[in-house]
Structure 1
Amino acid sequence: MDILLVGAGLSGAVIARELAEAGHRCTVIDGRPHVAGNCHTERDPATGVMVHVYGPHIFHTADAGVWDYVNRHMTFRPYRHQVRTTVGDRVYSMPINLLTINQFFGTAMRPDEAAAFIKAKAEPIADPQSFEEQALAFVGREIYEAFFKGYTEKQWGTSPQNLPASILKRLPLRFSYDDNYFAHPFQGMPERGYTEMVESILDHPGIDVHVSTVFQPEMASRYGHVFWSGPLDGWFGYDLGRLGYRTLDFERFEGQGDWQGCAVMNYGDADMPFTRITEHKHFAPWEEHGDSVLYREFSRACGAEDIPYYPIRLVEEKALLGDYVSRADGEEGVTFVGRLGTYRYLDMDVTIREALDTAGAFLAAQKAGTAMSAVVKAPL
């Protein structure tokens, strides 16, 4: 079968490779002038630094199969992600751990003492519904207002009272000095960048790649099936309205030597307009560079011409999402995949796992002579 995959990010690349290896002819298109989507990396010609063009992407997973898969296409070097945050005129360790607690309160508590101390600070909210309630029940008001309130308002453009508790539940609280941002057993960075890894995945005689190629609706009729990793609402021409996203603006600047001493420095104060500064050479600690490339990162509402990054998924968006999902379920000849296609925040490893599973479901449907589902992983 001739198959069209719209989007040359991880979803499109992995599905194309699996189907091409099974004998299908795959055409992959992308409106941008490169593959790899938002995890696109490129070598800065002036400094030699490998730059994460659309912001940092850290690979971490507990899925051994996915870890093996990416390492077949690129050598992954050890990388331990550590984050710091500036609040007021002091720098703290993140995520919240024993050092953060002792720094913030000017104490020297042991783990058991700190656990009891934070428990006493936590507010008795039995069933937290909002981000704010979850934080208050989690760490108490002082830590919440210092480390989470201002940063979250900048990141999401709304009060933490309007955000679901689930956003905070992803963040750890540790009563040890472990400041490893992720706890997954497999963590690393691709030695020569994500774009070269995705190029390797797409390197198959059964795959034809066209970048700088915008999807046109009439293209679908030329193929036996379409895998759509663009915005779910975009498939329908946004005719019910646009789903809400946050987008990012980057203010690039260069420095000499080690400019900030870490890969990511968050800024928790609400009056600091950017959320964080990323220093890209720290994402490849095995390399040495005299100069440095840095991004100041600003979050704002996503407009029609902007790159969508984070689905908002608040009450209004979920209602609209339900309408689009109902329409998607009735579509034939197309499967919606990936972060945009299913309107979900997905880490890279989950994106790859779902792409592998989607390709497997398609091949199974072909073998059984049944129709392929429009949505393999339900957005709701």
Structure 2
Amino acid sequence: MFDFLIVGAGFAGSVLAERLASIADQKVLIIDQRDHIGGNAYDYYNKDGILIHKYGPHIFHTNSKKVFDYLGHFTAWRPYEHRVLASVDGQLVPIPINLNTINKLYGLQLSCHQLNDFFESKAEKIDRIITSEDVVVSKVGRELYEKFFRGYTRKQWDLDPSELDASVTARVPTRTNRDDRYFTDTYQAMPLFGYTRMFQKMLSHPNIKIMLNTDYKEIIDVIPYRNMIYTGPIDSFFNYCYGRLPYRSIEFKFETIESDVFQSTGTINFPNEHAYTRITEFKYLTGQKHPKTSVVYEYPQADGDPYYPIPRPENAEIYKKYQQLANAMTNTYFTGRLATYRYYNMDQVVAQSLSLFEKITQRQSEKHVNGQKVFQLHT
């Protein structure tokens, strides 16, 4: 009898497995239909010996000391601040848009104060910010929106920004200084030996058993357990009774190059040319020294593994129906990007799982049945 069956060995499931096993002394079975732990953050050495991320670049950043310190129990950190260039009008310019971006793009020599005036002169007044287009146009105007955002968004989501929730482009801020870091979080670092090594340490507790290459529906009636934590797609859990929740997927094309360096920064975005959205060179992220280098091209698509919930009002309505079913269940918990249909960063998933662990332990009570302690939740 397992105290917890956890479906999914990514960040959401692994954090909860580790906490329940090491702090609450629970017996945990964590299963995943893939042949590896780590979820989409899984990394490995390719045949050339270069450490790559199988499901596209994963760059860790957070403002939460609690999250950073927690993960630090399982990995040393390599400081890394990610920088991104965008290919626009035949030039490579920094994104998020900042002072250097505008000066290079237009051949100007604006100061920070002048840049603020520049943006205000371009911005369009929009009374209600509803869509992703509204977010950008109201800040920097339509010309920069067309150059940097519209094409990229249409490739990524197969929707015009006017059809997407404001949260999508709100993730990419606009700056009036020269800060060309993609993120400004307090803690920016990469696991020194990679994500997979971190997950291996996280799941090494003797109370944790792992089953890979396993669909939970194959074993759910065979292996006894008291509680479930589910991190997969919520619509799949309920057999799509309200229809499928739409996701965007990505096809990753990897290439190893007989050169020490391929491009001038970790990631280059291509808003307006090519079928791919961006190219990432892994050695920038990992700090690995190697005579060759490896890159990945990302081609967004409709079919494939579900990576990005599509933030539109009609999809939110479908999710609410599934959420009501989930809330009505006892001793079953839903967490993570797919189970809550939210576009979370890695640190947000960790924070969510740490919070859920606290919620679970607050609701637990110990009692003796036939002289043995059991874990019970008040429902």
SS across alignment from 1:248: strand
1:372 offset after TM fit, Å? 6.0
Counterpart Cα distance in 2 of 1:89 and 1:113: 25
SS across alignment from 1:227: strand
Q: In the alignment, what sits opposite 2:351?
A: 353
Q: Report the RMSD for the aligned CA atoms in angstroms.
A: 1.6
SS across alignment from 2:126: coil
Question: What one-letter code is carried by the residue in structure 1 that aligns with 2:40?
Answer: N
TM-score normalised by structure 1 residue count: 0.93
Do residues 83 (structure 1) and 84 (structure 2) align?
yes
Question: What one-letter code is carried by the residue in structure 2 that aligns with 1:230?
Answer: G
Matched ranges for 1:1-380 at <5 A: 2-21=3-22, 22-46=24-48, 48-216=49-217, 219=220, 222-255=224-257, 256-269=259-272, 271-285=273-287, 287-301=288-302, 303=303, 306-367=304-365, 371=377
Question: What one-letter code is carried by the residue in structure 1 that aligns with 2:351?
Answer: R
Contact 2:9 2:32 in 1 (8 A): yes
Counterpart Cα distance in 1 of 2:301 and 2:89: 23
1:257 offset after TM fit, Å? 2.1
* 1:47-94 deviation per Cα after TM superposition (whole angstroms, max 9, x unaligned): x22101100111111111111111110001110100011123211111
1:334 offset after TM fit, Å? 0.9
Question: What one-letter code is carried by the residue in structure 1 that aligns with 2:153?
Answer: T
Name whichever of 330-339 and 362-371 sits farther off: 362-371
TM-score normalised by structure 2 residue count: 0.93
1:126 offset after TM fit, Å? 2.2
Name whichever of 139-148 and 211-220 sits farther off: 211-220
Question: What one-letter code is carried by the residue in structure 1 that aligns with 2:330?
Answer: E
Question: What one-letter code is carried by the residue in structure 1 that aligns with 2:348?
Answer: V
Question: What one-letter code is carried by the residue in structure 1 that aligns with 2:156?
Answer: Q
Question: What one-letter code is carried by the residue in structure 2 that aligns with 1:74?
Answer: T
1:166 offset after TM fit, Å? 2.0
Identity within the alignment, %: 36
1:227 offset after TM fit, Å? 0.3
SS across alignment from 2:356: helix
Structure 1 residue runs of 5 or longer lacking an equivalent are 374-380
1:105 offset after TM fit, Å? 1.7
Contact 2:365 2:377 in 1 (8 A): no
Counterpart Cα distance in 2 of 1:294 and 1:217: 37
Counterpart Cα distance in 1 of 2:378 and 2:73: 28
Counterpart Cα distance in 2 of 1:79 and 1:102: 26
1:316 offset after TM fit, Å? 2.1
* 1:103-140 deviation per Cα after TM superposition (whole angstroms, max 9, x unaligned): 12221101111110111110111222111122111101
Contact 2:62 2:185 in 1 (8 A): yes
Question: What one-letter code is carried by the residue in structure 1 that aligns with 2:270?
Answer: Y
Counterpart Cα distance in 1 of 2:137 and 2:329: 44
Label 1:172 to 1:210 Cα distance change in 2 as closer, same or farther (>3 A): same
Q: In the alignment, what sits opposite 2:370?
A: none
Q: In the alignment, what sits opposite 1:376?
A: none
Counterpart Cα distance in 2 of 1:128 and 1:8: 37
Contact 1:26 1:207 in 2 (8 A): yes
Name whichever of 306-315 and 142-151 sits farther off: 306-315
Question: What one-letter code is carried by the residue in structure 2 that aligns with 1:319?
Answer: E
Counterpart Cα distance in 1 of 2:289 and 2:20: 39
1:217 offset after TM fit, Å? 6.3
Contact 1:335 1:372 in 2 (8 A): no
Counterpart Cα distance in 2 of 1:235 and 1:328: 9
Counterpart Cα distance in 2 of 1:308 and 1:203: 28
Report how many residues are paired: 367
Question: What one-letter code is carried by the residue in structure 2 that aligns with 1:192?
Answer: F
1:322 offset after TM fit, Å? 1.4
Question: What one-letter code is carried by the residue in structure 1 that aligns with 2:334?
Answer: F
Counterpart Cα distance in 1 of 2:378 and 2:47: 45
SS across alignment from 2:337: helix
4+ runs of 1 displaced by more than 4 Å? 368-373
Label 1:134 to 1:368 Cα distance change in 2 as closer, same or farther (>3 A): farther
1:352 offset after TM fit, Å? 0.9
Label 1:225 to 1:217 Cα distance change in 2 as closer, same or farther (>3 A): farther
Contact 2:247 2:308 in 1 (8 A): yes
